């Protein structure tokens, strides 16, 4: 079983999608051992408690800078012996030492089709505001591995979602979550935990499902 921690900052609907997929057996070989929040008031913490998953708060506000915040998360992950880290609505970029130590072991969900509307400054509702302002006809979501630069790592899964003429940032955000994020994030976590991701440079190849051997 792959010991997994989910990092959150807010509502936690993506965390909920992972919890539900685990309950329904849609994520294989994964043990969700910790939910770590950058925000003590995040509703995601209630979702984790309800699912009886241990929670930890590493409050961004009490750290002087990003490096010391990132270091505290790094220490917690090591203390808990975590193999896979999932950023599910986690609103901060992690520092290079942590990203290097967990190379190809941190999965992020981004609410757009990377490389569109991604990188520094593109998070949460801002992504959908930018997509509507640009006038794109499709948007979507991307599950990818993290590198030091925001939203720039190898892409695991993407799913496109239609943009409607009467969309607001809120309606587009909701559709992207429902039709894309909540599906591809649990799927990407399962693929990792099943050992089905082969990474060569920026390219991620999805290997076939392991076949049962002879009885
Ligand atoms: C989600 O749409 C997620 O993709 C986005 O914030 C929302 C969090 O919702 N993340 C980013 O923009 C990170 N760059 P949630 O807390 O309900 O999962």
Task: Tell me which residue has its CA closest to atom 10 in ligand 1.
Answer: 89
**Confidence band for 125, pLDDT divided at 50, 70 and 90:** very high
Per residue in 135-193, pLDDT (tens digit) is 999 999 999 999 999 999 999 999 999 999 999 999 999 999 999 999 999 999 999 99
Per residue in 63-89, pLDDT (tens digit) is 999 999 999 999 999 999 999 999 999
Indicate the average pLDDT of the chain.
96
Report the separation in Å between the CA atom of 137 and the middle of ligand 1, taken as the mean of its atom positions.
21
Cis peptide before 151 (omega within 30 of 0): no
- Residue 23 in domain: yes
- Residue 60 in domain: yes
- Residue 130 in domain: yes
Report the separation in Å between the CA atom of 15 and the middle of ligand 1, taken as the mean of its atom positions.
10
- Residue 212 in domain: no
Which atom belonging to ligand 1 lies closest to the Cα atom of 88?
18
- Residue 94 in domain: yes
pLDDT for the residue 213: 59
- Residue 91 in domain: yes
Average pLDDT of span 80-104: 97
Dihedral sign for Cα atoms in the order 185, 96, 29, 37: negative
Domain residues for the domain of 116 are 2-206
Which atom belonging to ligand 1 lies closest to the Cα atom of 181?
4
Ligand 1 pocket check for 16: Cβ under 6 Å: no
Average pLDDT of span 32-55: 98
Q: How many domains does the chain have?
A: 1
- Residue 214 in domain: no
Query: Residue 25: CB partners within 8 Å, gap ≥ 6?
Result: none
**Confidence band for 211, pLDDT divided at 50, 70 and 90:** low
Residue in the structure block whose two tokens are 């990203």: 99
* CATH number of the domain encompassing residue 157: 3.40.50.170
Taking CA 129 as the corner, what is the angle to CA 127 and CA 134, rounded to the nearest 5 degrees? 95
- Residue 149 in domain: yes
What's the pTM? Answer: 0.96
Total length of the chain: 215
Residues serving a catalytic function are 110
């Amino acid at each position: 079983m792959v010991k997994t921690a989910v990092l959150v900052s807010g509502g936690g609907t993506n965390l909920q999608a992972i919890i539900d997929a685990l309950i329904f057996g849609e994520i294989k070989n994964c043990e969700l051992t910790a939910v770590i929040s950058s925000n003590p008031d995040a509703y995601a913490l209630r979702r984790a408690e309800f699912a009886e998953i241990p929670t930890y708060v590493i409050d961004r506000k009490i750290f002087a800078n990003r490096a010391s915040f990132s270091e505290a998360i790094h220490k917690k992950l090591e203390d808990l012996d975590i193999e896979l880290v999932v950023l599910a609505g986690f609103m901060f970029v992690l520092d290079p030492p942590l990203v290097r130590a967990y190379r190809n072991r941190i999965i992020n969900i981004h609410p757009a089709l990377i490389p569109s509307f991604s990188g520094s400054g593109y998070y949460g509702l801002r992504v959908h505001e930018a997509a509507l302002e640009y006038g794109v006809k499709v948007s979507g979501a991307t599950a990818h591995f993290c590198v030091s630069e925001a939203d720039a790592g190898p892409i695991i899964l993407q799913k496109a979602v239609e943009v409607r003429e009467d969309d607001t940032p809120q309606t587009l955000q909701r559709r992207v979550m429902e039709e894309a994020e909540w599906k591809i994030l649990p799927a990407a976590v399962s693929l990792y935990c099943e050992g089905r991701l082969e990474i060569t440079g920026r390219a991620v190849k999805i290997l076939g499902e392991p076949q049962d051997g002879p009885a």
